[in-house]
Structure 1
Amino acid sequence: MTTTNTKAMLSNHLNLDEKKMKKLHGMLDDLLSDYHVFYQNVRGFHWNVQGRDFFVLHEKFEELYTQLYQNIDDLAERIITIGFRPLHSYSDYLKNTIHKEITDISGEEECVNQVIHGLGTLVSSHRKVAEFAGEAGDIATEDMLTAFVGDLEKRMWMFTMYRK
């Protein structure tokens, strides 16, 4: 590859392939959308769960949505760092998410099952985006998403153990 071609392809401030970074931005916006809808679902479970384990689940759902909020902030800031503007409206989130809004659920088992399913969906999405980030040479995004996966998988395991 000649120097001229390299400059044309690597024109962003991180010296990464601009076309790949645009695609990564779209993938990160989709992930951000997934986070927002799942976050709101977990908030709903926190507020509405009923049953003998209310106190435990109420607290665990709060711990989870607090971490989701932190991940949302980190993800949005990463999008800005790589040179783009993150989505920031719920209408955009709803158009770009693979999660469904979940309403009118208050049973402990159903809430926990929805959390496990939502965490699994997030983990799967993270893996795809992290793999593409690595292919694009964006090791910082890949590393951040990989760390998120470790935490989400642990939380998924813990909620799974609750069901046993």
Structure 2
Amino acid sequence: MKLNSIGLDIQKAKELANDLNNLLANFQIYYQNLRGIHWNIKGKRFFDLHVKFEELYTDANMKVDLIAERVLTLGETPLHTFTDYIENAQVPVGKNISQDEKAVTLIVESLTELLKIERAILDKSGDANDEGTNSMMSDFITEQEKTVWMMKAWLS
């Protein structure tokens, strides 16, 4: 077994980087969805949601950077074009959403998709003894599960 400079199996690190690139593409679509609903939200809940959506897109932007840097740490190149993002993403694209419940539903659907991807990466990173990726996924999952719970509570 050949190891890379951080002590991980080269092939497993490459596979994890590919999975992280898929997560990166999905996060970029999620981020752009959040920007769109932040800009376009209307109605009586505007002030609360406008602020909440900004909080979420700021967090998503930070996570995008963390994911890309992890891909680089594993020795690969992060995806960085909109074409790559669109071709690789499973997260739904929200277009011209201005209604509060549709916006929050889009967030729940997006996070549900991101959680599936993150759990798969968590399993693989554990297998590869990649604590850096494993820890990142664990942190993301914990935060996003709470956000899904809160968004679903808001919807009910």
TM-score, normalisation: structure 1: 0.91
CA distance in 2, matches of 1:149, 1:157: 12
Aligned to 2:56: 64
Task: Find 1:137's aligned residue among 111, 123, 129.
Answer: 129
Q: How far has the Cα of 1:101 moved from its partner?
A: 2.1
- Say whether 1:123 aligns with 2:115: yes
1:16 partner SS: coil
Q: How far has the Cα of 1:149 moved from its partner?
A: 0.7
Letter aligned with residue 61 of structure 2: Y
Among the aligned pairs, what percent are the same residue? 38
| 1:1-164 pair list within 5 angstroms | 9-164=1-156
Letter aligned with residue 58 of structure 1: H
The 8 Å contact of residues 14 and 75 in structure 2, kept in 1 or not, is answered as no
CA distance in 1, matches of 2:56, 2:148: 10
- Give the unaligned 5+ runs of structure 1: 1-8
Question: Which structure has the larger Rg over C-alpha atoms?
Answer: 1
Question: Residues 107-127 of structure 1: CA distance to partner in whole angstroms, max 9, x if unpaired?
Answer: 111111111111111111111
Structure 1 vs Structure 2 CA RMSD? 1.0
- Give the unaligned 5+ runs of structure 2: none
Q: How many residues align?
A: 156
CA distance in 2, matches of 1:66, 1:157: 19
Q: How far has the Cα of 1:27 moved from its partner?
A: 0.3
Question: Residues 29-59 of structure 1: CA distance to partner in whole angstroms, max 9, x if unpaired?
Answer: 0000000001101110111111110111111
Letter aligned with residue 97 of structure 2: I
TM-score, normalisation: structure 2: 0.96
Give every structure 1 segment of 4 or more consecutive aligned residues whose post-TM-superposition deviation is greater than 2 Å: none
